[in-house]
Amino acid sequence: MPDYCLHCCLEHSRCTCDAYTKAQPVNNDAFCLPAGTLLDGKYRIGRVLGAGGFGITYLAADERLGFRVAIKEYMPRSDAVRDTNGYSVRAGTFDDQKLFQFGLSKFLEEARVLARITEKDNPRIVGVYNFFEENGTAYLVMRYLEGQTLSGLLQSRGGRLPENEAIVILSAMLDGLREVHNEGLIHRDIKPQNVFITNDGGIKLIDFGAARYAQGVKSRGLTQVLTAPYAPFEQYSQKGNQGPWTDIYAVGVTFYQMLTGLLPDDALSRVTDPSPLLVHAASKGTVSKALDDVVAKATCTDVSGRFRNVDEFHKALSLPSSVNLGYQEPSPKQAARVSPPRVTKSPARVVPKSSSRDAYQGSPPVRPPREPVDMSADIPSRSKGSKNPGVYIFVALIVVVLGVVAYQVVMPELAREFWHEDEAWHEPASGWEAPASAGGGSDLEWVRIPGGSFSMGSNDGDPDDDEQPVHRVTVPTFEMSKTQVTVDQYMACVDAGACTAPDTGDYCNWGPSGRGKHPINCVDWHQAQAYAKWAGGRLPSEAEWEYAARSGGRDWKYPWGNEDATCERAVMWESGTGNGCGRGSTWPVCSKPRGNTTHGLCDMAGNVWEWVQDWYHDSYNGAPTDGSAWESPTGSSRVVRGGSWNRRARRVRAANRSSVVPGSRLGTLGLRLARSVR
């Protein structure tokens, strides 16, 4: 083991102290990994940096590359426990399993998005240079940074910042969010605790909340994953209209806090009293009145009155896009080269148990007193001839750019480590090379399907001969696209020149307007293969498909259980309504959420049949038992699964199968993708 200190040394240099014997005791060491645990064959765990309701972040050493890192472990306290072996993580109860796995899939999805952003060298976003599965859970690997959160900076500066400094930090936050939103991700938890300022002056958004928010939605516990008063009104509802404007509200509140040292009431209270936030009055005249209209619009309780995106916010400030504010970022030449993101599994290796934990220290943000605000003054207009905030701001920026070095010098000594209410985050080393994109399919939503064994086929009721004999199959963990591939998703492949256009005509979704969210149909098996290659996936094996359709291999007739299939759960033929539940065609994907699997897969029963990889055989005699596709001997037809909009309940059973010649293009036939987990 190298002499890289994990506990007692705070500088980025080698030292001689014992990384383990000088650790402080952990108050609840059964909840955390033991100090000294070896993850992924190279990361040696040290003490706990931070812990919250959904994860634990550890200081660790990369023993191969010789530098310190921070590792975040997915560990939702509400529905997970650590086994008595001290390492493995599992759901606390059978009922918790679905929620745990759902959150885990969102944790990994977020990691992939952050890895793509890191590939673009965005200096404003916490990056992920490695992620992997181990111990029944998942881990993110980040470079250990020195600095403090914006919350800590505000606390050290009396609760507020000069206007010019606040504008610098605001602009950096907006620059970071631009890339996040371009990737289709919403941060959902912007607040001073999640803005990190490094010792070299870098400003970074940290602690993204995809897994935390997803679990809140699933458990209907949204109030447990929100941070009032930074959360806008739409975030309090599962059906709220969320988008980039959701983060804009939180940024606006954070900007208001930086300028005034105060916090507004939460959004639920502000809806009943929607008075605009006016920084000039709240700061007792120390902040330019020209910023009133900008802050008021950013923090409008009504979505329609708010900036819709980052660029609108930038424009209102009269700031150029991605303005260079003079902050110094770590040189890529100085950063260690690290491995690209990947998903792996390996057993834990450990040394004798010892660990430590920081004590939480902090104070809650200051709320403003309920003082009357002079509402007689109108919010200034930015029409021609009016006072333009950009004039003032650009003057301020000149001062900032010239004085940023001084700003960094006079800034109080920053803490090397931190712990806030959710988790501590750190930035990875820059200069790593991310894997090349598969070329498309970035808008596919992937769902992790944990592996296991199940009884494939059916003896229930009146099965078809080709559903027998029932046999035991073990399926490795894999991922499957949440929905059937849509017209819009397939069109992107055609536009890229990697796919050929489907057929048009009766019942084909290619061509008619308004079908973008419907499943693509009228594509043959070869076209399905071309799309899979372009999108970075593959067609699932028949065993994978049935295992997923049975919600992880349960002994169920349908994805939801054994209740009869009706139009409440599937797009199908139903007596009294007819084909397509009365529409005579497909429906938009995920129109029947009551029919989803426990992992969240949509339309595994009905809507369109789905191509799989296997050749069709008229029985399971000789079928593979390892979850792989049945490729030998070959045949004349390929297997299709799931039934379609013109099929009765019997044909949308999870065990039901049919065969189609590979060159067929049918209005009842589409596809869904899978991909292996390495």
| CA separation, residue 242 to residues 185, 302, 312, 394 (Å) | 11, 12, 17, 32
Whether the pLDDT of residue 385 is over 70: the answer is no
Per-residue model confidence (pLDDT) at position 379:
25
**Residue 209 — pLDDT band, cuts 50, 70, 90?**
low
**Residue 433 — pLDDT band, cuts 50, 70, 90?**
very low
Per-residue model confidence (pLDDT) at position 417:
26
**Residue 419 — pLDDT band, cuts 50, 70, 90?**
very low
The arithmetic mean of pLDDT across residues 84-98, rounded, is 81
Q: Tell which wins on pLDDT, 457 or 319.
A: 457
Q: 61-70, 194-203, 329-338 — which is least confidently predicted?
A: 329-338
**Residue 204 — pLDDT band, cuts 50, 70, 90?**
confident
Check: CB of residue 258 under 8 Å from CB of residue 170.
Answer: yes
Secondary structure of residue 240 in the 3-state scheme: coil
**Residue 386 — pLDDT band, cuts 50, 70, 90?**
very low
The arithmetic mean of pLDDT across residues 387-410, rounded, is 39
Q: 82-91, 533-542, 596-605 — which is least confidently predicted?
A: 82-91
Q: What are the structure tokens assigned to 518, written together?
A: 């419907």
**Residue 53 — pLDDT band, cuts 50, 70, 90?**
low
The arithmetic mean of pLDDT across residues 566-589, rounded, is 94
**Residue 655 — pLDDT band, cuts 50, 70, 90?**
very high
Per-residue model confidence (pLDDT) at position 464:
73
Per-residue model confidence (pLDDT) at position 17:
36
Per-residue model confidence (pLDDT) at position 523:
95
Per-residue model confidence (pLDDT) at position 388:
45
Check: CB of residue 150 under 8 Å from CB of residue 169.
Answer: yes
- Using alpha carbons, select from 209, 115, 103, 211 the residue that is nearest to residue 448: 103
- Name residue 204's beta-bridge partners: 196
Whether the pLDDT of residue 373 is over 80: the answer is no
Q: 63-67, 332-336, 399-403 — which is least confidently predicted?
A: 332-336
H or E element at residue 153 = helix 150-156
Q: Tell which wins on pLDDT, 387 or 460.
A: 460
**Residue 427 — pLDDT band, cuts 50, 70, 90?**
very low
Per-residue model confidence (pLDDT) at position 343:
37
Alpha carbons 532 and 445: distance in angstroms, whole number = 14
Q: Which residues contact 670 (CB under 8 A, 6 or more apart)?
A: 484, 485, 519, 520, 521, 523, 607, 608, 609, 610, 611
Per-residue model confidence (pLDDT) at position 348:
34
Whether the pLDDT of residue 486 is over 80: the answer is yes
Per-residue model confidence (pLDDT) at position 257:
96
192-201, 352-361, 430-439, range with greatest mean pLDDT: 192-201
Q: Tell which wins on pLDDT, 85 or 553.
A: 553
The arithmetic mean of pLDDT across residues 193-214, rounded, is 73
Whose tokens are 């506990």? That residue is 7
Whether the pLDDT of residue 7 is over 70: the answer is no
Whether the pLDDT of residue 488 is over 70: the answer is yes
Summarised one tens digit per residue, pLDDT across range 170-186 is 999 998 888 788 877 78
**Residue 119 — pLDDT band, cuts 50, 70, 90?**
low
Per-residue model confidence (pLDDT) at position 640:
96
- Using alpha carbons, select from 192, 381, 353, 416 the residue that is nearest to residue 290: 381
H or E element at residue 639 = strand 638-641
Whether the pLDDT of residue 397 is over 70: the answer is no
Helices (H), 200-349: 210-219, 244-260, 267-272, 279-282, 292-298, 310-317
Average pLDDT of the chain, as a whole number: 76
The arithmetic mean of pLDDT across residues 248-259, rounded, is 96
Q: Are strands 669-670 and 609-615 parallel, antiparallel or unpaired?
A: parallel
Q: 30-44, 328-342, 621-635 — which is least confidently predicted?
A: 328-342
Q: Tell which wins on pLDDT, 240 or 27.
A: 240
Summarised one tens digit per residue, pLDDT across range 326-358 is 333 333 323 333 333 333 333 333 332 322 222
Per-residue model confidence (pLDDT) at position 638:
94
Check: CB of residue 640 under 8 Å from CB of residue 578.
Answer: no
Per-residue model confidence (pLDDT) at position 230:
92
Whether the pLDDT of residue 219 is over 80: the answer is no
Per-residue model confidence (pLDDT) at position 250:
95
The arithmetic mean of pLDDT across residues 358-380, rounded, is 29
Summarised one tens digit per residue, pLDDT across range 271-324 is 888 789 999 999 988 898 889 999 999 999 999 999 999 999 988 886 433 333
Percent of the chain at pLDDT above 90? 44
Q: Tell which wins on pLDDT, 85 or 431.
A: 85
